[in-house]
Structure 1
Amino acid sequence: MDDFSFSRRDMLGALGAGLLLPEAAFAAPAKPRVGGRIRVASLSSSTADTLDPAKGALSTDYVRHYMFYNGLTQLDRNLVPRPALAERIESRDQRNWHIRLRRGVTFHDGATLTAKDVVWSLLRHKDAAVGSKMASIAEQFGEVKAAGPLDLTIRLTGPNADLPTILAQSHFLILRAGTKDFHNANGTGPYRCAQFRPGVRTLARRNPNYWRNGKPYLEEIELIGIPDEVSRVNALLSGDVHLIIAVNPRSTKRIKASSHHALLESQSGLYTNLIMRQDGAPTNNPHFVAAMKYLVDRPLIKRALYRDYATIANDQPIPPFHPYHRADLPQTSLDLDKAKWHLQRAGLTGVRLPVYASPAADGSVDMASIMQEYGSRVGLNLAVNRVPGDGYWSTHWMRHPLTFGNTNPRPTADLIFSLFYKSDADWNESGWKNPRFDRLLLEARGEADQARRKQLYGEMQGLVHDRCGVAIPVFISLIDGYDRRLKGLQSMSTGGLMGYQFAENVWWEG
């Protein structure tokens, strides 16, 4: 395919036809220079840190993996997949795919990338012993086999027009076939692993043989974790680190006041949601669910909790800036009269209900307190149980009738729906089961026509909005803080630190 200029509609149409668009989105906007060393602070660092992309669970893992490995594709700022290790990905029916690999790519140990490495890397997600976080998505890989040194085919169990986007996820980054030792990293990525100490730091050094000419620019990156946000901001302002993730909106004034530092806001699909389990009383009562949604003061949450670094949501997990967002659903707003009416219909007036919140689910403690206050005005006694962040996801999340979740952005509607809303999904937070939704999900996955696909995803959003036991108040913007001498950073809605892929795109003008 020639390197033409595509509109957003053209891009979506091309992807629907199973084509991979040309690489054009990762050229730096200014003239970068090679050299410099930076220190980067992510959210966390623990003994669970991993160099195995399949097991990545936190932003620190994702950053680490994108430094050392590549995927077959890579998302641009518009979430359109571009060529990376794959030169081309083609399909006529969205089910049978042919992939042609880039020639002359080498791993850090000098071995040449072949189709055998890709086949092995993709199929290992189906091995239960690996413990891949994407095992449920990899179930779609019916057959993956080499068709030559640089060619392979993927036969999916059902059509999925999003395969090029799925293959860009950090979990599907490519390893050398047979890799078992993850004390070090042997990838094709822009940096080589100089040191990996779980819970302490990761040291990355420039790969002089990187297949992208001229990249990367930095000589060395040290990645650490600073769990406490105030300490993370202090480290940035003192010059101890040069780039930090997940700035709390309350800290933005401090960073703005520094002439040497700046903020990068990325609108995203990140949300903290109230979960009302549908597999038991009283939270499975539709009138109770409706009452709770009418107790959500979305503008207050946006203003007070996130200092307007957020976008009002409407209990549908597809954000307004996503091409498949359904905008015509009636906006649910704070309405105490309606909440009281639904609560009475549910027969729950005066009932005491515990709700579990934690700092682990960003903003949930404050959200719960706001809903507790409004609930008291309509006869609902919400008892807020604030529990520690440590162990929240394994001990409390989805294990009580009322809890909070915190869902990171996903690049496609199919991924967010498949992981969190499909009836048999492991992370189906509210435990709702809707056969119509499941059928629409499969149909939309294989639909190449973009107008029809948007229609299908729109109906699915309506079902979630009307019937699912989930309340989504706002979509939370991602805020990074950085030293102004660091150039080339751009916002990406898939995650902080440029969708976790800053490493090969930034340079230092110190």
Structure 2
Amino acid sequence: MSFKKKAAVAAVLAAASLIASAQTVRIANQGDALSLDPHSLNESLQLSVDLNVYEGLTDRNKDLSLAPALATSWKQTAPDTWRFELRKGVTFHDGTPFTADDVIFSIARAGGDGSDVKAKVNDIQEVRKVNDHAVDIVTKGPFPILPDVLSDLAIMSKKWCEENKAEKPVDRRKGIENTASFKANGTGPFRVRERQPNVRTVFVRNMNYWGKIEGNAQEVIFTPIANPATRVAALVSGEVDVMEPVPVQDIARINASPSARVVVGPELRTIFLGMDQKRDELLYSNVKGKNPFKDKRVRQAFYQAIDINGIQKTVMRGASRPTALMVGPGINGWTEAQDKRLPYDAEAAKKLLADAGYPSGFEVTMNCPNDRYVNDAQVCQAVAANLARIGVKINLAAETKGTYFPKILRRDTSFYLLGWTPTTYDSHNALDALMRCPNDKDGSGQFNLGAYCNPKLDELIGQIKSETDKAKRQGLIEAAFKIHTDDIGHLPLHQQSLAWGVSKKVSLTQRADNFMPFKWISIK
């Protein structure tokens, strides 16, 4: 047999072996990705799901260090300019070649109307095409963390978006949908074969992927299962292979089962409460003619009325870390010295309310998701019970994230719960997105939904963005956090722990940002 014939036979056998070993992994989550449009909602579950299909210029390794993706290298050519060399030979799932035009289009799309990821590109002044496989990104000033910022900014096909009338992202605040909501065309390791919102989404391996796919998963079936007990039962019975989050009360049960285990680790996400501090009168309160949250004494009273250690013990069953900051360990800029909470003191809280003119408390609606964070509704119920002790009546409005996020993103709220993971793993991300005065034009403060605003803090955030000296930058970050803490701009609660239920047949990587790359999943 000739060498060519032997090679051909070997190729056929290899293909047959691949088909024979084709594996399906079934994943369940308490909620669904609300859209396949990666620019429509800056929420980690949606990004985690969509970024198996789409990719950024940069990516993250298993240890969250920065890695090349659609860009093979990058360097600063001037204090305000970064040159990105683009990967050659990459195609989108429909076969269209990936070029610099797609990068220029995607960054403009991410910063345009309807985008929920404007904050990722608000420091970009211009993107210039050097050639088909190189771009220069010019920022509004020195911006040393630009490659980190771009690690989860998905690059979309300019041609596909134009042909499918998806030039702009879906606006979750208005409920507008387009083709990119339910179809996808990325460059990533998996393609979308089937999409049934809130029922299931089926992904299949991209056989033309440019990079290495470490795992053996050929098909991934992602299913939302809202009920925690049903999710646990599905894992233990073998109906699903991976599920998250695991209710903290069920960790021991799953670990005792013969077929599954719980993978537990720290998460970078901080859970916090926000308050409308802009309107002269709250939308949802019995206080008329004024806004109690504009008074720092009221904000501090709420803070000191919350028994965060009690919530950690009874609601989170130890699977949380109380925090005084809007970022936690693992985020650049966090320091233990600053992470000191005000003491829980209901009597002091009552006095603060009385001094502010509310001796009998007041009534306000609190918005909360019931299927997004670990025990989110139970956390809100515990906060409501704590506040009742100081005379504050909370009307708790807990709902599925599908309706919750559009509502609060419209700032149609007086008091709300939110979680945030800085995707750059740097404090600037949280400061700029959560604590800066909102500016709808450039996306600054886009998730500062209560419109807390301090111009001195904004000035520091601008300096942090451009400072290249690490020691000076750290000092600026600490000064910024001190202003926010002293103002009691938000009410930080805790960093929750990750708990994934995993079949003993499955191996995967749990990243601290709670992203689940399918390319690292294998099943026996």
TM-score (norm 2): 0.81
- Note the alpha carbon deviations across 1:252-282, whole angstroms, 9 max, x for none: 2221221211112231232332323323421
1:140-182 Cα offsets, whole Å, 9 max, x none, are 221112211211111112322221111111xx22222222233
* Secondary structure at 2:253 match in 1: helix
CA shift at 1:234, angstroms?
1.7
Higher alpha-carbon deviation: 366-375 or 335-344: 366-375
Report what 1:44 is aligned to.
31
Structure 1 portions without partners, runs of 5+: 1-32
Q: CA deviation at 1:320?
A: 2.8
Residues 346-379 of structure 1: per-residue CA shift (max 9 Å, x gap): 23221333342534375555445545555555xx
Does the C-alpha gap of structure 1 residues 347 and 125 become closer, same or farther in structure 2, counting only changes over 3 Å? Answer: same
Change in Cα spacing, 1:428 to 1:322, as seen in structure 2 (3 Å) is same
What pairs with 1:15-414 in structure 2 (closer than 5 Å)?
35-45=22-32, 49-56=34-41, 58=43, 61-128=46-113, 131-169=114-152, 172-180=153-161, 181=164, 182=180, 184-213=183-212, 215-279=214-278, 280=280, 281-314=291-324, 316-329=325-338, 330-360=340-370, 362=373, 363=375, 365-371=377-383, 373-375=385-387, 380-390=390-400, 391-395=403-407, 398-408=411-421, 410=423, 411-414=425-428
Q: CA 1:313–1:286 in 2, change beyond 3 Å: closer, same or farther?
A: same
Equivalent AA in structure 2 for residue 322 of structure 1? I
C-alpha separation in 2, matches of 1:73 and 1:65: 15
2:487 is aligned with 1:480: no
Task: State TM-score, norm by structure 1.
Answer: 0.83
Describe the SS at the equivalent of 1:404.
strand
Equivalence for 1:426: 446
Mapped to 2, the partners of 1:108 and 1:224 lie a distance apart of 23
SS of aligned partner of 1:38: strand
What whole-Å deviation, never above 9, does each CA across 1:446-500 have from its counterpart, x for those lacking one?
Answer: 112222222111111111211033111211112211111111x2232212xxx13
CA distance in 2, matches of 1:395, 1:50: 16
1:96, distance to aligned residue in structure 2 (A): 0.5
Alpha carbons 2:270, 2:328 under 8 Å: kept: no
Match of 2:159, SS state, is coil
Residue 500 (structure 1) aligns with: 516
Distance 1:85 1:142 in 2: 21
Q: 1:175 and 1:364 mapped to 2: Cα distance?
A: 33
> Which has the larger displacement, 450-459 or 367-376?
367-376
Cα distance in 2 for partners of 1:186, 1:216 equals: 22
> Is the CA contact 1:414–1:445 (under 8 Å) kept in the aligned structure 2?
yes
Does the 8 Å contact 2:124/2:139 carry over to 1? Answer: yes
Matched residues in 2 for 1:248 and 1:132: separation? 33
What letter corresponds to residue 521 of structure 2 in structure 1? Answer: V
Give, in whole Å, the separation in 1 of the partners of 2:522 and 2:50. 19
- Tell me, yes or no, if the aligned pair for 1:355 and 1:385 is still in contact at 8 Å: yes
Helix, strand or coil at the partner of 1:167: helix
Task: Quote the residue 1:12 is aligned against.
Answer: none
Counterparts of 1:55 and 1:158, CA distance in 2: 27
Whether the aligned pair in 1 keeps the contact of 2:128 and 2:136 (CA below 8 Å) is yes
SS at match of 2:49: helix
CA gap 1:34/1:162 in 2 versus in 1, 3 angstroms: farther
User: Cα deviation per residue 1:265-318 (whole Å; 9 max; x = unaligned)?
Assistant: 23123233232332342122112222222112121111111111111201x211
| Bigger Cα displacement from structure 2, 102-111 vs 432-441 | 102-111
Letter paired with 2:136: T
Per-residue deviation, residues 210-236 of structure 1 (Å, max 9, x unmatched)? 222354521111122222222222221
Counterpart amino acid of residue 133 in structure 2: L
- How far apart, in 1, do the equivalents of 2:407 and 2:299 lie? 23
Q: State the identity as a percent.
A: 23
Counterpart code for 2:318: D
TM-align CA RMSD: 2.5
Matched length: 463
Distance in 2, matches of 1:370 and 1:133, equals 30
2:469 aligns with 449
Contact 2:56/2:150, CA 8 A, preserved across alignment = yes
Whole-Å Cα distance in 2 between the matches of residues 116 and 82 of structure 1?
A: 22
> What secondary structure is seen at the aligned counterpart in 1 of 2:432?
helix
1: CA distance, partners of 2:71 / 2:309: 44
State how far apart, in whole Å, the 1-side matches of 2:206 and 2:383 are: 51
Q: 2:510 aligns with which of 481, 484, 491?
A: 491
Q: Describe the SS at the equivalent of 1:358.
A: strand
The secondary structure found in structure 2 opposite 1:122 is helix
Residues 258 and 44 (structure 1 numbering): CA distance in 2 closer, same or farther, change over 3 Å? same
